[in-house]
A and B are shown apart, each in its own frame.
Chain A
Amino acid sequence: MLSIKNVHASVEGKEILKGINLDVNAGEVHAIMGPNGSGKSTLASVLAGREEYEVTNGSVEFLGKDILELSPEDRAREGLFLAFQYPVEIPGVSTTNFIKTALNEKRKYHGLEPLDAVSFMKLMKEKIKLVEIDKSLLTRSINEGFSGGEKKKNEIFQMAMLEPKLTILDETDSGLDIDALRIVANGVNKLRDENRAIIVITHYQRLLDYLQPDFVHVLVNGRIVKSGTKDLALELEERGYDFIKDELSLSEAV
């Protein structure tokens, strides 16, 4: 589904990603872990199409298309979804109206008629239940005055509504209490199926306990330096990133 080959990216002339390789297939959940400043969020931004990030080398293919050539909106319409680490507050734009616009722009892109009000409301109701979001939030402006947990739930709700093929959860667990974390993780799990893939960017094991990733990758200094199964995450939790850095400096020394 997603094939990242030797991606180098920089922001304001500073190289952050230094050759990322990653293949993600439908149905898989990949976790990307790594210390602060290793480039995890940069990778998410590059995939979603943030303009400040310049890809200087490499390629990203998503469902057979070179997505680096596409605008952020077209990437989304192709089925990519980024759940933000810091969801943006947008006063004056109602959440419902926003999601409806997004959904219908995506439908239009795929040559489908816009959803009428009744079908849209029906779909909303269904997904509200799925992700356990308080529906009064949806009549409010996007994320305005939402708590940290509400903002993250809103991200998962949008994911549920837009039904992306590939979701990138960028530190979705940050700033969540235990209950909110469980609700968010359950929401994500309910949206998993053999046609969809998820990339989870996180610092911590606890979200992975819920999501049970198929693969875990460790990103250090702009490169994936180690990949493994979910056991790798447990090992990281236990030993910290230092053991990987040690391994790394050893191998580099050789």
Chain B
Amino acid sequence: MVKWLDGLESLVRTRIENYYLFRKTQKPIRVNLCNSWQVLKMEKIDLEYFGEKFNQLQTQDPGTYINNIRKEGFSTFNKKGLPTYKNEEWKYTGISNLFKKEYHLSEDELNLRISKTDIDEMRLPGYENANELVFVNGRYVAELSTIRSAESQLVVIPLEEAANGIYKDVVSEHLGKSNLFINDGIHALNTSFIYGGVFIYVNKKQVIENPVYLYHISDARENHILAQPRSLVYVSDSAKLQLVETYKTIGAMDSFTNEVFEIVVNANAIVEYYKFQNDTSNASQVGTTHIRQIGKSYAHTLVASLDGGMIRNNTNIIMEAAGNEAHMYGLYLLKGDTHVDNHTLVDNRMPNCFSNELYKGVVDDRSTGVFSGKIYVRPDAQKTNAYQTNNNILLSDAASVNTKPQLEIFADDVKCSHGCTVGRLDEEALFYLRTRGISKEHAQAMLLQAFASSIVEQIKIEPLRNYAEELIVDRLQAQS
């Protein structure tokens, strides 16, 4: 018998819960030893459906590289199941409850239901100058996308096409490397269903002037949607690329985006990565951005979370070459019942790498924030400089933050620091502003804006930075 959850105990508990559930609702008690699996299936995750879909996908293109990765993924998923609170990395973020419903996986025919207007509504400022890639329910839709860069600079093709064509070697060498770092069930679930993502390739020495905007649309008008985008980006030597991801759920049903985005950066290349999360409260997400700096290069990431349901962001930087530099920023402004969990990883495997992380949060109402920042310094990574800061402001008594810096250092000549704060707004500063005639509400908004500004100013795409500023000003003024 296959074990779907992390432990038997939770299985038992589920069964008992269901038992009471049925009792209370006066429905016939269906729980007994013979058909308990069926109940579990309904209540937890529709495994039969996933299994069916998986087999379907595998028979479509047997024997390919991706096919093998999927197989491994599905086997890991079967072994591990969805992560629960018992998994240290998931202690504060419980996604398994979100799977107590029937999700639909991507169906190609749904794509047609997305209109130009739907896309217009989510286009981010600066789009006139951007390569706009549209994903519907986790799958790239070329017909809805606009590539503005020349093909000689930037290649954007479906991942499967890349895996079978001239980029075959690149894909087989680099796709799936994140699996070694995150081996939980939810990541494996994405891997089990790698299909329909994109392959983005930047040619040598090409500085891409048009940023790549990725719009992820979940069409949850009829069903709960599980979207699992999986894409691979390869930035060649001395090239530059800016990536921006954003998400939108259409419809009243729930969406769950389980994304893995792998980015490979070669020597002297520059990558900027921005993630904007401002979706509806019925939209949940686990998103992994896995950046491998395989040549001495520069990476700049920023994750801004303004709205949504339950959100988990894994942002990983793997320093695979000496002299790498990475800057990671995060901003979460939370209200209502939104939950945002940022897990970061900087893995220093080679000497002389520099990394700096700054994550800031303002947490209001009943919302919750989590920050967990891991820095590894491997034995070979002498002269590592790695810094990490997480600052949080709580605006309500019911809001909470869990923050955990983790440094694991195995080299002796390194400079590392970490620090975190959780507090309220500076009362003295608030009073100072008020004694000059500024209302309490306005003063509070000014202070929060100031708090957020050190992150916002790290958005290097100007129209996006202005947009983020406006959004934040609106939010903070409405909130205070």
With contact pairs A84-B432, A90-B432, A92-B453 given, residues A106 and B437 touching in the complex (Cβ less than 8 Å): yes
Report the stretch among A32-40, A70-78, A116-124, A231-239 that lies at the interface: A70-78
A82-102 CB mask vs B (1 if < 8 Å, else 0) is 101001101111000011011
A46 contacts the other chain (CB 8 A):
no
Residues of chain A lying within 8 A (CB to CB) of residue B418: none
A92–B449 touching, CB < 8 Å: yes
A73–B440 touching, CB < 8 Å: yes
B447–A72 touching, CB < 8 Å: no
Distance from B439 Cβ to chain A, minimum over Cβ atoms (Å): 5
| Contact among A84, A93, A102 for B437, CB-based, below 8 A | A102
A158 contacts the other chain (CB 8 A):
yes
- A103 to B447, alpha carbons, bound, how many Å? 18
A88–B428 touching, CB < 8 Å: yes
B431 contacts the other chain (CB 8 A):
yes
With contact pairs A71-B440, A73-B440, A88-B429 given, residues A93 and B435 touching in the complex (Cβ less than 8 Å): no
Residues of chain B lying within 8 A (CB to CB) of residue A93: 446-447, 449-450
Give the size category of A's interface with B.
20 to 34
B39 contacts the other chain (CB 8 A):
no
Q: Which of A95-137 contact B (CB under 8 A)?
A: 98-99, 101-103, 105-106, 109
Residues of chain B lying within 8 A (CB to CB) of residue A48: 435
B41-65 CB mask vs A (1 if < 8 Å, else 0) is 0000000000000000000000000
A101–B446 touching, CB < 8 Å: yes
| Contact among A84, A92, A109 for B450, CB-based, below 8 A | A92
Residues of chain A lying within 8 A (CB to CB) of residue B434: 49, 71-73, 76
Residue of A nearest to B451 (CB): A92
B442–A105 touching, CB < 8 Å: yes
B433 contacts the other chain (CB 8 A):
yes
With contact pairs A88-B428, A90-B429 given, residues A76 and B446 touching in the complex (Cβ less than 8 Å): no
B431–A50 touching, CB < 8 Å: yes
Give the size category of B's interface with A.
20 to 34
B436 contacts the other chain (CB 8 A):
yes
Residue of B nearest to A51 (CB): B431
A98–B451 touching, CB < 8 Å: no
Residue of A nearest to B453 (CB): A92
With most chain A CB atoms within 10 A of its CB, the pick from B428, B429, B436, B439 is: B436
Residues of chain A lying within 8 A (CB to CB) of residue B439: 73, 105
A20 contacts the other chain (CB 8 A):
no
With contact pairs A50-B431, A98-B446 given, residues A73 and B438 touching in the complex (Cβ less than 8 Å): yes
Residues of chain A lying within 8 A (CB to CB) of residue B443: 73
Residue of B nearest to A50 (CB): B431
Distance from B83 Cβ to chain A, minimum over Cβ atoms (Å): 37
Residue of B nearest to A90 (CB): B429
Distance from A113 Cβ to chain B, minimum over Cβ atoms (Å): 16
B10 contacts the other chain (CB 8 A):
no
Residues of chain A lying within 8 A (CB to CB) of residue B87: none
- A206 to B258, alpha carbons, bound, how many Å? 70
Residues of chain A lying within 8 A (CB to CB) of residue B447: 90, 93
A162 contacts the other chain (CB 8 A):
yes
With most chain B CB atoms within 10 A of its CB, the pick from A81, A84, A98, A158 is: A98
- A88 to B434, alpha carbons, bound, how many Å? 12
Distance from B128 Cβ to chain A, minimum over Cβ atoms (Å): 29
Residues of chain B lying within 8 A (CB to CB) of residue A50: 431
- A142 to B436, alpha carbons, bound, how many Å? 13
| Contact among A92, A158, A162 for B454, CB-based, below 8 A | A92
Q: Which of B406-433 contact A (CB under 8 A)?
A: 426, 428-429, 431-433
With most chain A CB atoms within 10 A of its CB, the pick from B438, B443, B446, B447 is: B438
With most chain A CB atoms within 10 A of its CB, the pick from B432, B439, B453 is: B432
- A87 to B435, alpha carbons, bound, how many Å? 11
A73–B437 touching, CB < 8 Å: yes
Residues of chain A lying within 8 A (CB to CB) of residue B433: 90, 98, 102
With most chain B CB atoms within 10 A of its CB, the pick from A82, A92, A99, A162 is: A92
With contact pairs A90-B450, A92-B449, A93-B446 given, residues A102 and B432 touching in the complex (Cβ less than 8 Å): no
- A141 to B447, alpha carbons, bound, how many Å? 11
- A91 to B450, alpha carbons, bound, how many Å? 7
B451–A158 touching, CB < 8 Å: no
Distance from B395 Cβ to chain A, minimum over Cβ atoms (Å): 17
Residue of A nearest to B441 (CB): A73
With most chain B CB atoms within 10 A of its CB, the pick from A73, A109, A158, A162 is: A73
21 A–B contacts from the bound complex (CB under 8 Å): A48-B435, A71-B434, A71-B440, A72-B435, A73-B434, A76-B435, A84-B435, A88-B426, A88-B431, A90-B426, A90-B450, A92-B453, A98-B436, A98-B438, A98-B446, A101-B438, A102-B437, A102-B438, A105-B439, A106-B437, A109-B437
Q: A73-B438, A73-B443, A84-B435 are in contact. List 4 more A-B contacts (CB 8 A).
A: A71-B440, A73-B437, A93-B446, A102-B438
